[in-house]
Amino acid sequence: MSETSNDIAIDDAILRTMTYFDIFNYPLQSGEICNLLDTQASKANVDEGLGRLVEAGQILKAGELYSLQFEPKLFERRIKGNWLADLLLPAVRRKANLIFGFPFVRAVMASGSFSKNFMEDKSDFDFFIVCAPNRIWISRMLLVVYKRLFLKNSHQQFCINYFVDTEHLEIDEKNIFTATELATVLPLTGSTLYNQLISANERWLKQTFPNYKKRTGLYRELKTPFLKRFAEGMLNVLLARYLNRWFRNITLERWRKRYGNAYDQHDFRIAFKSTEHVSKNHPRNFQKKIMDAYNKRVATLTKKMEVL
């Protein structure tokens, strides 16, 4: 039976989704592909498309995993990485609980590789943190001081590179990188704020991934410790809004001195976003590197499909 135009569209969409994760050498399950597909399709449609692509020799299947690369070691790597992530989940929850105990932190979520249920021996624990309005720079400074004093500034144990506040949950940069991170973010504390985060970004997230369904049953609410409430009260007495602004200014000045010459103004503003409501610290500008690699690969894929 010949393929219909809808079949071809789904096959192309599957290849685009797999192309993104192929940058990370990460095979996918069919459900994951369906959830992050850029085209409306049912799980049955995706399974049929994967069957066609396997039969055509365009992708490789091993067990429940699919890859663009015909390299069995990638499947072994993913299985091992999933096992390690499961093993580390209790430790990550403890770190999230610790972060939640700091003043003005309202929710803690895992991002990066751990949010995809994958870890390697040298992988970082990346956290996405939601704070009270006009307080994120206080929370960030206290967490940075803790990390430097007690964790020897270890990024692997405690990578706190993205903060937003409760009144500004919509992500400014809207692309496949930010959509993937948002769609896979793992809520560890603060179920209400996780739901609000998804709601604030749902319109453009659904445009990017029409089949997307948010996570359920993985998060929990924590009671605010007395010491945290006491510390917040004391900081508010000490003119926290001005302290927040001061911490922002000295942090931004430090970033400019350290990284300003390595980026143009546009890339610096994205990699080191520093407003009253957002703090982002990505010295490697990972988003730009991934987007450049993805766009290049999709262009190559499009040319290849046109020939076919």
pLDDT score for 84? 96
pLDDT score for 220? 66
Domains of the chain: 5-70 (1.10.10.10), 85-288 (3.30.460.10)
Nearest 5°: CA angle at 180, between 9 and 135? 150
* pTM score of the predicted model: 0.92
Pick the residue with more confidence: 168 or 306?
Answer: 168
Mean pLDDT of 102-129: 93
User: H/E element holding 229?
Assistant: helix 226-237
User: Distance between CA atoms of 278 and 236, rounded to whole angstroms?
Assistant: 20
Nearest to 180 by CA among 33, 3, 11, 282: 33
Pick the residue with more confidence: 235 or 31?
Answer: 31
Residues 6+ apart with CB under 8 A from 20: 36, 176, 180, 294
Task: List, for residues 235-275, the tens digit of each pLDDT value.
Answer: 888 788 899 999 999 999 999 999 989 888 888 998 999 99
Task: List, for residues 41-85, the tens digit of each pLDDT value.
Answer: 999 999 999 999 999 999 999 999 999 999 999 999 999 999 999
Task: List, for residues 192-234, the tens digit of each pLDDT value.
Answer: 899 999 999 999 999 999 999 988 765 667 788 888 999 999 8
User: Distance between CA atoms of 170 and 151, rounded to whole angstroms?
Assistant: 31
Task: List, for residues 144-181, the tens digit of each pLDDT value.
Answer: 999 888 876 665 567 888 999 999 999 999 999 999 99
* Pairing between β-strand 186-189 and β-strand 105-111 as defined by DSSP bridges: antiparallel
pLDDT score for 123? 84
